[in-house]
């Protein structure tokens, strides 16, 4: 039924532009299920975002086992090393680089509104994994931007792994966003990092809205047509990331922003990872429990792309039914349901849609649909035809080199 070498997969290829790096596997501790977590609220199971206004951070990751000494000594190349090597070799998939500003001016405009350099603050609009997000307007071009703010001192105090802090995650997020450019991915515009300031800012394109699964049942569902349109955008953006050997790690409705024209853009790369070749084996567990794939719970290692695809399946379920399929009362209960419970779908659901959700939510990642399978599924194609391929900057550079030869 599924064509593993689909035309969509070929269209999302990137001329093997990152293939120069030697194969090595990243190894990280994987958090285990802890029976002491029985008092965790459902809110924690659904969302791990934290506002840095009160400097309250989730330090649950600090309980991860560090492994034995030999394992630590043999640890393969980190995502940061892979990404830095890509920077050194000029293999970023962007036509124009992200602006980097090393001087911060915190002032006020004539109306008393706070300003960061050229940006005038209007209101707070949300929180990322480690910092708050506010809406700003540029006094230069008049456009709105979402600016993500961090305190470097607090990021350095928060340990997320034996040898890494939250600052590692944030800097990796910046590196990844400097690499990529796609219509279905939130664009990083500027990084403001003054060595003399404790503040650190990411200036992102402003996306007006987001769809959130409220868990209130089918009344919250989006309907098949809207869900199909959103899913096509998600598959396009995520396939681009995977083709560039980047695993998102936290696909969920909260990280899917919707423009005024109804286009989905994938955001929040705070737990994303880069890998060197086609081996996407990871150890560090992905972002949000209720979207976690069963193999991430059961095994010491898992494959990042398959885990991302499972999260797409949970997201599609939420889009259609307006609730989470495996949400329990505690973390342990949720993990038990993810591993053991079958997916239950309404009898009157569109058979094609039912087939797609079941294919995305296979417990065994080896049998799970791939993004290429999803792109060619009859329900996804619908009346719109195949998902259009995207000619990224890497492909354009490859074409130019081939033409020159």
Give the model's pLDDT for residue 66.
37
Asked whether residue 395 carries a pLDDT value surpassing 50, the answer given is: yes
> Residue with structure tokens 């649950």?
60
User: Residue 108 — pLDDT band, cuts 50, 70, 90?
Assistant: very high
Of residues 40 and 246, the one with the higher pLDDT is 246
Intrachain domains 7-23+208-396 and 50-205 with the same fold: no
| Angle, helix 304-321 to helix 351-360, in steps of 10 degrees | 150
Of residues 269 and 43, the one with the higher pLDDT is 269
Q: In Å, how far from its chain's centre is CA 319?
A: 18
Picking from 360, 352, 350, 358, the residue whose alpha carbon sits closest to that of residue 380 is 352
Give the model's pLDDT for residue 46.
57
Picking from 269, 243, 244, the residue whose alpha carbon sits closest to that of residue 255 is 269
Of residues 130 and 201, the one with the higher pLDDT is 201
User: Residue 300 — pLDDT band, cuts 50, 70, 90?
Assistant: confident
User: Residue 12 — pLDDT band, cuts 50, 70, 90?
Assistant: low
Give the model's pLDDT for residue 153.
93
Using an 8 Å Cβ cutoff, are 104 and 194 in contact?
yes
Tens digit of each residue's pLDDT (9 = 90 or more) over 244-256: 999 999 999 989 9
Give the model's pLDDT for residue 45.
58
Give the model's pLDDT for residue 29.
36
Superfamily of segment(s) 7-23+208-396 = Transferase(Phosphotransferase) domain 1 (1.10.510.10)
> Mean per-residue pLDDT for 163-187?
91
Q: Where are the beta strands (DSSP E) in 8-72?
A: none
Q: What is the DSSP string of 264-331?
A: EEE---TT-EE-SSS--EE-S--S-GGG--HHHHH-S-EEHHHHHHHHHHHHHHHHHHSS-TT--SSH
Sequence spans of domains, the chain: 7-23+208-396, 50-205
Question: Catalytic annotation on 364?
Answer: no
Specify the pTM. 0.79
Of residues 55 and 147, the one with the higher pLDDT is 147
Task: Bin 187: left if φ > 0, else alpha if -120 < ψ < 50, else beta.
Answer: beta
The answer to whether the annotation marks 148 as part of a ligand binding site is yes
Q: Which of 49, 52, 193, 250 is catalytic?
A: 250
Asked whether residue 356 carries a pLDDT value surpassing 60, the answer given is: yes
User: Residue 281 — pLDDT band, cuts 50, 70, 90?
Assistant: confident
Q: How far apart are the C-alpha atoms of 273 and 242, rounded to whole Å?
A: 10
Asked whether residue 83 carries a pLDDT value surpassing 90, the answer given is: no
Using an 8 Å Cβ cutoff, are 207 and 261 in contact?
no
Q: What CA–CA distances, in Å, run from 224 to 290, 317, 353, 380?
A: 23, 11, 9, 10
Give the model's pLDDT for residue 67.
40
> Mean per-residue pLDDT for 61-74?
39
161 beta partners? 164
- Tokens representing 59 are 């330090």
Give the model's pLDDT for residue 150.
94
Give the model's pLDDT for residue 391.
87
Asked whether residue 61 carries a pLDDT value surpassing 50, the answer given is: no
Give the model's pLDDT for residue 396.
85
Q: What CA–CA distances, in Å, run from 344 to 126, 203, 252?
A: 33, 42, 20
- Of the listed ranges 48-52, 102-106, 142-146, 237-241, the one predicted with least confidence: 48-52
User: Residue 214 — pLDDT band, cuts 50, 70, 90?
Assistant: low
Superfamily of segment(s) 50-205 = Phosphorylase Kinase; domain 1 (3.30.200.20)
Picking from 302, 317, 398, 395, the residue whose alpha carbon sits closest to that of residue 356 is 317
């Amino acid at each position: 039924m599924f064509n593993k070498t689909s035309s969509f997969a070929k269209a999302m290829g990137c001329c093997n532009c990152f293939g120069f790096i030697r194969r090595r596997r990243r190894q990280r501790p994987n958090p285990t299920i802890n029976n002491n977590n029985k008092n965790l609220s459902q809110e924690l199971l659904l969302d791990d975002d934290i506002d840095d206004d009160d400097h309250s951070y989730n330090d649950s990751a600090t309980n991860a086992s560090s492994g034995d000494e030999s394992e630590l000594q043999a640890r393969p190349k980190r995502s940061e090393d892979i990404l830095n090597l890509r920077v050194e070799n000029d293999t970023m998939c962007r036509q124009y680089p992200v602006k980097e500003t090393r001087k911060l001016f915190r002032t006020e405009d004539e109306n008393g509104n706070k300003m960061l350099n050229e940006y005038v603050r209007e209101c707070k609009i949300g929180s990322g994994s480690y910092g708050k997000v506010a809406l700003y307007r540029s006094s230069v071009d008049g456009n709105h931007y979402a600016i993500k703010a961090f305190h470097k001192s607090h990021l350095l105090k928060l340990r997320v792994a034996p040898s890494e802090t939250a600052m590692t995650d944030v800097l990796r997020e910046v590196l990844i966003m400097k690499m990529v450019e796609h219509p279905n991915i939130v664009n990083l515009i500027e990084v403001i990092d003054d060595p003399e300031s404790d503040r650190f800012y990411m200036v992102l394109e402003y996306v007006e809205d987001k769809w959130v699964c409220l868990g209130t049942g089918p009344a919250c569902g989006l309907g098949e047509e809207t869900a199909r349109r959103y899913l096509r955008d998600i598959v396009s953006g995520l396939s681009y990331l995977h083709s560039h050997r980047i695993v998102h790690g936290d696909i969920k409705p909260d990280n899917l922003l919707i423009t005024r024209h109804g286009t989905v853009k994938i955001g929040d790369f705070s737990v994303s990872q880069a890998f060197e070749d086609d081996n996407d084996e990871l150890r560090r567990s992905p972002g949000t429990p209720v979207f976690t794939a069963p193999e991430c719970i059961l095994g010491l290692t898992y494959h990042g792309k398959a885990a991302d695809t499972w999260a797409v399946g949970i997201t599609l379920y939420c889009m259609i039914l307006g609730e989470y399929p495996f949400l329990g009362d505690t973390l342990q209960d949720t993990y038990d349901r993810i591993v053991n419970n079958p997916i239950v779908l309404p009898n009157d659901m569109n058979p094609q849609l039912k087939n797609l959700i079941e294919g995305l939510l296979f417990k065994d990642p080896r049998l799970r649909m791939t993004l290429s399978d999803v792109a060619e599924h009859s329900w996804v194609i619908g009346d719109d035809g195949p998902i259009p391929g995207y000619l990224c900057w890497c492909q354009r550079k490859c074409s130019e080199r081939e033409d020159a030869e």
